[in-house]
């Protein structure tokens, strides 16, 4: 017993020493110096959908500017705005625009001014289990399945040509932006949905659920589909102009209707006065393609990026 | 002699039942550990411990999270041990149960043990990060929030430990002319160290695995530097693990082994932390 | 001898001290009291942070609808705020967890304290405590991705859903076993040897000694460990959030998903909902309700324990 304890105590000392030991910040990710007389810190918080994008940007930026400390939190779009409007963060990540009745007034009251800048795109993929072969669903059909009070038990009730396998529905948690967006686009109003499906906080679990149930059908962020392509059946959505399947291109240019949405970063105008914050946002706008690719997020189109550049310039001008 | 035979049977059956209880618990622990070790052992390397988190799974590491957790545990332990023991001593040795405020304290502590960890996060955010103390989302705030969360465990087990010291010990000490405090400091407390150590073990074990309150208090999910003081921003192992578990993983970037490695590191850290307390417990153990 | 006033319910601890030491003792007592008051401060803080928003919440949602409604869909449109399904979910999962934790925990404690050799005890007790340190997310994912498919569905052939209360409850029970076992074991070990020896001397078997002599003597510690275990079960967030699902359910069927107070708070707090909205404020009302329920439970349990506590020597 004593030897076991001694070994374990040694274990932690070794762990601690190893971790403290080398001050190697991060091997790889933009080796050398670059314009690295920038210093300071940048606090980013908000949506966990935008999180990986912000993280990839932060990592690359820090590689070139090792004296700037960037931290990224994922308290959620709502939690992020709350901290942002309390002046605690410099940039807020959001998977939806700031709410004009509930969130914007708080920022106004605290004297926080900001700029909405799109940084990437996101799509919601509708998928089914591989055994449930469905190629396309119209928005109306989706609404029939997912609307409040819907008693649809199998796809046959929506269209007699579809298989009659009993459905097992999965989706994101009802507190998430994905849920709000899907219900608004498909059912007409945020929060309107049938309540007898399996919600989960972790989209990986939703994927697993659909994969494991013969009648599995569900929706989640498109990057989770990309990572699990071979395990699921992707359903195209017909938003009025034909059946479109979500992929990088169709989500970018919006032809995957109506389930494509922009992702935002909101910088605090006062924070933009600091050179490191300005440089960071400039970096994001200039390198949006690589950052999106690294974080498996759908990038902007060049038109959207040009718009973003303009927005950033306006914000900088306002900041002075 | 029928009574003796049936009681022998009952004895044996009881013994087997008890062994089964331990067996099942240890079996579950074993399954969990095998799972974790199998997935995570390949991940353990000097690099893993020495690199910061990266979007590129092959170059990612756990350094910031590990250091963050170490700092948090230090702050947490530094808070709960003195305050927890002091409260337990007060309640057992000094408090007069006839007074309503002492009963209030007692009910209070028991109630606090049931408050969900997220509510402690809300509390920490309102009063430590913002509000009266305005510490910001720093290590000190995170450690204190965790400390408040697990303090009831230390207090409750500390009280039981102190209560178990036979009063003959106290009376003997007092009879020899010691003051109340001298009796407590030199007789009662050393005798209750084993129970207090158990409480601290259970408390820190809980604290080390908590995610939700830390996120509310403002721990970062991505951070590429180690805490340099109590006023640094931070992240922690459970947060990093949860982040890796919930990302989509594909062939290019597979985060699942990273998560398993992180869990293994956390368990080793836990084992080491507990060993210190266990050593203390074994050293001070006595049978009355 | 200094008279000790009003010590009706406590054992008398007379203090024979030199008069000049009195101020030092008083100072120490004051410091200790200050430490104890931190817990009161904590509760006050919690009540304040919850109360403000709870009041705002109840300006929009009727108290009656909240307390007696059976439909819980605050994030849907239209929203329903009946809290009873959360009560059902919480009590169901806590009940399952304690049904696992109490027998396994107490059984382990009695074995370690009364039957095991000291060396065995010193190895197994820490091993059990490791179970307490497994991060709750790991338990949650273990329940969801291993326990439900492999044990419940394959081996036991139960018709459980992917998310179900049974898996969450059982795994939570295992998480609580160390709390019950370790603290009870300390209490059992602390029972003076003389009691055991006396009983053995009178011809009792080990079974009789353990159950009729040692266990009742340690009852206070055992009950404390169980109460702590229940508190832990009621307040646990991650395991239920991951494994028990997020469907509010009035039926007490453990094979189905259930929403609890804690998983609701956890889900909303981590989500994208604006913090000024009614949906968000719901967490404060839910937190407050949980706080009051546990307060009532604790008041009852403390009164019960005080009645049955025994003091030896």
Same domain, B79 and B175: yes
User: Which DSSP symbol is given to C113?
Assistant: I
Q: Do B160 and C220 touch (CB under 8 A)?
A: yes
Predicted confidence band at A32 (pLDDT cuts at 50, 70, 90)? very low
- Chain A residue with minimal CA distance to C249? A196
- Which string of b and e fits A91-121 if b means at least 16 CB within 10 Å? bbbbbbebbeebbbebbeeeebebbbbbbbb
Binned at pLDDT 50, 70 and 90, residue A128 comes out as very high
* Sign of the CA dihedral running C202, C203, C208, C210: positive
- In 3D space, the residue among C114, B162, C144 whose CA is nearest the CA of residue A200 turns out to be C144
Contact status of C269 with chain A (Cβ, < 8 Å): yes
User: What number of C-beta contacts closer than 8 Å exist between A and B?
Assistant: 137
Burial class (CB in 10 A: 0-12, 13-18, 19+), A23: exposed
- Nearest CB among C73, C123, C247 relative to A1 is that of C123
Burial class (CB in 10 A: 0-12, 13-18, 19+), C138: buried
C111–B209 C-beta distance less than 8 A: no
Output the pLDDT for position B287.
67
Buried b (16+ CB within 10 A) or exposed e, A153-162: ebbeebeeeb
Burial code (b: 16+ CB inside 10 Å, e: under 16) for B242-260 equals bbbbbbbbbeebebbbbbb
Tell me, yes or no, whether B203 and B85 share the same domain. yes
Q: How confident is the model at residue B176 (pLDDT cuts 50, 70, 90)?
A: very high
Mean pLDDT of the C51-55 span: 92
pLDDT above 70: percentage of residues in chain B: 98
Which residue's structure tokens are 């690295």?
Answer: A36
pLDDT, tens only, B19-69: 999 999 999 989 988 888 888 888 888 888 888 988 888 888 999 999 999
> Closest Cα partner for C54 from C289, C294, C274?
C289
Q: Residue C188's pLDDT band (boundaries 50, 70, 90)? A: very high
Q: Which chains touch A (3 or more CB pairs under 8 A)?
A: B, C
Looking at domain A122-260, what is its CATH homologous superfamily?
Periplasmic binding protein-like II (3.40.190.10)
- The residue of B53, B58, B61, B63 whose CB has the most chain A CBs within 10 angstroms, and thus the best one to mutate to test that interface, is B63
Q: Quick one: which of C162, C172, C145 has its CA closest to C262?
A: C172
- For residues A167-189, average pLDDT: 89
- Is A127 within 8 Å of A213 (Cβ atoms)? no
Residues 245-284 of B with CB under 8 A from A: 245-250, 253, 265, 268-269, 271-276, 278-279
Give Dmax (Cα) for chain C. Answer: 74
How confident is the model at residue C172, as a pLDDT?
95
Distance from chain centroid for Cα A54 = 10
Helix ranges, A48-111 (H): 51-64, 77-85, 104-109
For B131, which residue in chain A has the nearest alpha carbon?
A86
pLDDT value at residue A11? 58
Reply yes or no on whether the pLDDT at B97 is more than 90: no
Band of the pLDDT at C308, cuts 50, 70, 90?
low
Taking the Cβ of residue A149 and every Cβ of chain B, the question of whether any pair is shorter than 8 Å is answered with: no
Q: What is the rounded average pLDDT for all residues in chain A?
A: 86
Tokens describing residue B216: 């509310």
Cα distances (Å, whole numbers) of residue B255 to B100, B239, B284, C82: 54, 14, 44, 40
CB B21 within 8 A of CB C109: no
Residue in A with minimal Cα distance to C120: A1
Residue C78: predicted pLDDT? 83
| Beta carbons of C113 and C225 less than 8 angstroms apart | no
Per-residue pLDDT band for C105 (boundaries 50, 70, 90) equals very high
Full domain range(s) for residue B73:
45-284
pLDDT of the residue at C137: 86
Q: Which residue has the higher pLDDT, A287 or A23?
A: A287
Residue C227 to chain A, least CA–CA distance (Å): 30
Rounded average pLDDT over C170-195? 91
CA–CA distance, B182 with C28 (Å, rounded to integer):
11
Coil vs helix vs strand at A255:
coil
User: Are B32 and B114 within one domain?
Assistant: no
Write the burial class of residue A86 (CB in 10 Å: 0-12 exposed, 13-18 middle, 19+ buried): middle
- Which one of 3.20.20.80, 3.40.190.10, 3.50.30.40, 3.40.50.10490 gives the CATH number of domain A39-121+262-319? 3.40.190.10
**Residues 6 or more apart in contact with residue A6 via CB below 8 angstroms:** none
The Cα–Cα gap between C20 and C228 comes to: 42
Q: Which residues of B touch C238 (CB under 8 A)?
A: 211-212
Asked whether residue B178 falls in the same domain as residue B118, the answer is yes
**pLDDT confidence tier of residue A13, bands split at 50, 70 and 90:** low
Q: Verify that B102 and B7 share a domain, yes or no.
A: no
* B209 and B100 co-located in one domain: yes
Q: Please determine, for residue C15, whether its predicted confidence score (pLDDT) is greater than 60.
A: no
Q: What is residue A277's predicted lDDT score, i.e. its pLDDT? A: 94
Secondary structure of residue C77 in the 3-state scheme: coil
What CATH number has the domain bearing residue B221? 1.10.3720.10
Contact B123 C45 (CB under 8 A): yes
Q: Give per-residue pLDDT as tens, C120-167.
A: 888 888 888 888 888 888 899 899 888 988 888 888 888 888 889 999
Which of C24, C32, C237 lies nearest to residue B86, judging by beta carbons?
A: C32
Domain boundaries, chain A: 39-121+262-319, 122-260
Task: Report, as an integer, the average pLDDT of A54-83.
Answer: 92
Flag whether pLDDT at C239 surpasses 60: yes
- The string of pLDDT tens digits covering residues A211-226 is 888 889 999 999 888 8
Backbone φ and ψ for C203, nearest 5 degrees, come out as 95, 15
- Looking at per-residue pLDDT, the higher value among A180 and C1 belongs to A180
Distances (CA, A) of C39 to B92, B104, B213: 15, 10, 18
Report the DSSP beta bridge partners of residue A136.
Answer: A236
CA distance A92 to A74: 10
* Mean model confidence pLDDT for chain B: 88
The answer to whether the CB of A279 falls within 8 A of the CB of A128 is no
Q: Which pLDDT score is estimated for A9?
A: 57
The domain tally of chain B equals: 2
Contacts C224 to B, Cβ<8 Å: 156-157, 159-160
Beta-carbon separation of A213 and C162 below 8 A: yes
Mutant choice from A46, A75, A79, A261 vs C, greatest count of C C-beta within 10 A: A79
If you average pLDDT over every residue of chain C, what do you get? 85
- Do B32 and B66 lie in a common domain? no
Instruction: Clarify whether residues B137 and B33 are in a common domain.
Output: no
pLDDT at residue A89 is higher than 50: yes
B26 and B70 part of one domain:
no
**Residue B9's CB: how many other CB atoms inside 10 A?**
10
How far is Cα B71 from Cα B252, in angstroms, rounded to an integer? Answer: 33
Q: How confident is the model at residue B4 (pLDDT cuts 50, 70, 90)?
A: low
What Rg do the C-alpha atoms of chain C give, in angstroms? Answer: 24
B7 and B145 in a common domain: no
| The pLDDT of residue C21 | 57
Give residue A267's pLDDT: 94
B208 with B71: CB under 8 angstroms? no
Report residue A31's pLDDT band, with 50, 70 and 90 as the boundaries: very low
A127 touches chain B (CB under 8 A): no
> What is the least distance, in Å, from the CA of A161 to any CA of chain C?
29
Q: pLDDT higher for C312 or B152? A: B152
Question: What pLDDT shows up at residue A22?
Answer: 45
Best probe of the C interface among B18, B203, B238, B279, by most C CBs < 10 A, is B18
Q: Are C280 and C268 in contact (CB under 8 A)?
A: yes
For residue B240, give the 3-state DSSP assignment: helix
Is the pLDDT reported for residue A42 higher than 90? yes
B26 and B90 within one domain:
no
Q: Rounded to an integer, what distance in angstroms lies between the CA atom of residue A182 and that of residue B184?
A: 64
Q: How far apart are CA B212 and CA A76, in angstroms?
A: 12
ipTM of predicted assembly, 2 dp:
0.84
Q: Taking 70 as the threshold, does the pLDDT of residue C59 lie above it?
A: yes
**Core vs surface per residue B91-123: b (16+ CB within 10 A) or e:** bbbbbeeeeeebbebbbbbbbbbbbbbbbbbbb
Mutation target to probe the C interface, by most C beta carbons within 10 A, among A201, A210, A261, A264 is A201
Sign of the torsion formed by the C-alpha atoms of C169, C174, C180 and C183: negative
**Cα–Cα distance, A23 to A4 (Å, whole number):** 31
Final residue of a domain: which of B42, B57, B74? B42
Question: Is residue C196 over pLDDT 70?
Answer: yes
Q: Which residues pair with A74 in a beta bridge?
A: none
Tokens representing residue A81 in the block: 């705005």
Q: Per-residue pLDDT for B170 more than 50?
A: yes
Distance CA(C43)–CA(A146), nearest Å, equals 43
Residue B173 and residue B270 in one domain: yes
What is the model's pLDDT at position A191? 86
Number of A to C CB contacts under 8 A, please give it. Answer: 100
CA B99 – CA A272 distance, rounded (Å): 58
- C266-285 per-position pLDDT tens digit: 888 877 888 888 888 998 99
Look at B49 and A204 and tell me if their CB atoms are within 8 Å: no
Higher per-residue confidence, A278 vs B97: A278
Question: What length does chain A have?
Answer: 320
Nearest to B258 by CA among B32, B37, B43: B43
- Chain centroid offset of residue A25 CA: 27
Q: Which two tokens stand for residue A153?
A: 């038990």
Q: How many CA atoms lie within 13 A of A182 on its CB side?
A: 29
pLDDT given at position C91:
94
Contact present, B157 and B81 (Cβ < 8 Å): no
């Amino acid at each position: 017993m004593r030897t076991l304890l001694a070994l374990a105590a040694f274990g932690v000392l070794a762990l601690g020493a190893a971790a403290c030991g080398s001050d190697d910040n991060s091997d790889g990710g933009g080796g050398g110096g670059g314009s690295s007389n920038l210093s300071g810190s940048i606090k980013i918080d908000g949506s966990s959908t935008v999180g990986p994008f912000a993280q990839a940007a932060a990592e690359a930026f820090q590689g070139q500017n090792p004296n700037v400390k960037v931290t990224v939190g994922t308290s959620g779009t709502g939690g992020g705005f709350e901290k942002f409007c309390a002046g605690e963060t410099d940039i807020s990540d959001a998977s939806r625009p700031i709410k004009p009745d509930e969130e914007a007034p708080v920022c106004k009251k605290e004297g926080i001014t900001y700029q909405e800048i799109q940084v990437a795109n996101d799509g919601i993929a509708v998928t089914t289990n591989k055994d449930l072969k469905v190629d396309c669903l119209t928005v109306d059909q989706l609404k029939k399945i997912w609307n409040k009070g819907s008693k649809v038990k199998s796809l046959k009730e929506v269209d007699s040509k579809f298989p009659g396998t009993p459905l097992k529905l999965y989706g994101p948690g009802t507190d998430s932006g994905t849920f709000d967006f899907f219900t608004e686009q498909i059912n007409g109003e945020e929060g309107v949905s049938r309540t007898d499906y399996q919600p989960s906080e972790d989209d990986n679990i939703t994927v697993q659920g659909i994969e494991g149930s013969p009648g599995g059908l569900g929706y989640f962020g498109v990057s989770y589909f990309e990572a699990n392509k071979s395990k699921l059946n992707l359903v195209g959505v017909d938003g009025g102009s034909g059946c479109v399947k979500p992929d990088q291109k169709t989500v970018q240019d919006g032809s995957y209707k109506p389930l494509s949405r922009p992702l935002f970063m909101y910088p605090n105008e006062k924070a933009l006065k600091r050179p490191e914050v300005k440089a960071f946002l400039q970096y994001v706008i200039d390198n949006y393609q690589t950052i999106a690719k690294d974080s498996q997020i759908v990038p902007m189109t060049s038109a959207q990026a040009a718009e973003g550049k303009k927005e950033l310039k306006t914000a900088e001008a306002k900041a002075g | 002699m029928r009574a003796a035979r049936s009681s022998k049977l009952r004895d044996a059956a009881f013994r087997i039942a008890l062994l089964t209880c331990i067996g099942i618990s240890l079996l579950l622990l074993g399954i969990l550990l095998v799972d974790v070790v199998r997935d995570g052992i390949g991940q353990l390397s000097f690099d893993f411990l020495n690199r910061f988190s990266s979007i590129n799974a092959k170059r990612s590491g756990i350094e910031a999270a590990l250091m963050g957790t170490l700092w948090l545990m230090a702050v947490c332990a530094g808070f709960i041990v003195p305050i927890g023991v002091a409260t337990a001593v007060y309640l057992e040795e000094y408090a007069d149960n006839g007074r309503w405020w002492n009963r209030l304290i007692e009910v209070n502590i028991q109630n606090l043990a049931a408050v969900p960890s997220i509510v402690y996060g809300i509390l920490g955010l309102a009063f430590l990060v913002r509000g009266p103390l305005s510490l910001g989302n720093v290590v000190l705030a995170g450690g204190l929030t965790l400390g408040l969360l697990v303090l009831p465990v230390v207090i409750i087990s500390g009280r039981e430990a102190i209560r178990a010291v036979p009063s003959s010990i106290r009376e003997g000490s007092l009879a020899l002319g010691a003051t109340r405090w001298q009796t407590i400091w030199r007789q009662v407390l050393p005798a209750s160290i084993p129970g207090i150590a158990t409480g601290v073990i259970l408390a820190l074990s809980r604290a080390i695995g908590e995610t939700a309150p830390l996120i509310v208090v403002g721990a970062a999910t991505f951070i590429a530097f180690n805490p340099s003081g109590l006023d640094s921003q931070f992240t922690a192992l459970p947060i990093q693990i949860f982040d890796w578990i919930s990302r989509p993983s594909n062939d290019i970037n597979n985060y699942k082994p990273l998560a398993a490695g992180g869990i293994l590191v956390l368990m080793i850290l836990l084992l080491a932390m507990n060993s210190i307390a266990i050593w203390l417990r074994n050293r001070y153990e006595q049978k009355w | 001898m200094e008279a000790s006033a009003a010590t009706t319910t406590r054992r008398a601890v007379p203090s024979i001290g030199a008069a000049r030491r009195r101020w030092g003792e008083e100072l120490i007592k004051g410091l200790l009291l200050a430490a104890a008051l931190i817990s009161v401060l904590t509760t006050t803080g919690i009540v304040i942070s919850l109360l403000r928003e709870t009041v705002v919440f109840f300006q929009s949602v009727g108290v009656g609808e909240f307390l007696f409604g059976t439909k819980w869909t605050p994030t849907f449109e239209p929203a329903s705020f009946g809290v009873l399904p959360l009560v059902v979910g919480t009590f169901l999962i806590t009940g399952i967890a304690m049904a696992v934790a109490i027998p396994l925990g107490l059984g382990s404690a009695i074995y370690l304290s009364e039957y095991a050799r000291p060396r065995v005890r010193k190895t197994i007790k820490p091993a059990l405590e490791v179970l307490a340190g497994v991060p709750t997310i790991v338990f949650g994912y273990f329940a969801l991705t291993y326990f439900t498919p492999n044990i419940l569905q394959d081996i036991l052939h139960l018709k459980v859903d992917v998310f179900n209360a049974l898996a969450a409850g059982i795994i939570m029970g295992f998480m609580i076993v160390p709390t019950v076992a370790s603290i009870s074991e300390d209490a059992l070990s602390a029972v003076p040897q003389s009691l055991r020896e006396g009983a053995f001397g009178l011809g009792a078997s080990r079974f009789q000694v353990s159950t009729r002599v040692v266990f009742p003597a340690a009852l206070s510690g055992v009950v404390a460990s169980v109460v702590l275990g229940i508190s832990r079960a009621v307040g646990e967030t991650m395991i239920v959030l991951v494994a028990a699902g997020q469907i509010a359910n009035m039926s007490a069927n453990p094979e189905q998903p259930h929403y609890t107070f804690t998983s609701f708070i956890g889900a909303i707090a981590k989500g994208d909902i604006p913090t000024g909205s009614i949906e968000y404020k719901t967490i404060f009302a839910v937190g407050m309700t949980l706080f009051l329920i546990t307060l009532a439970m604790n008041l009852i349990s403390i009164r019960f324990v005080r009645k049955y506590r025994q003091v030896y020597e």
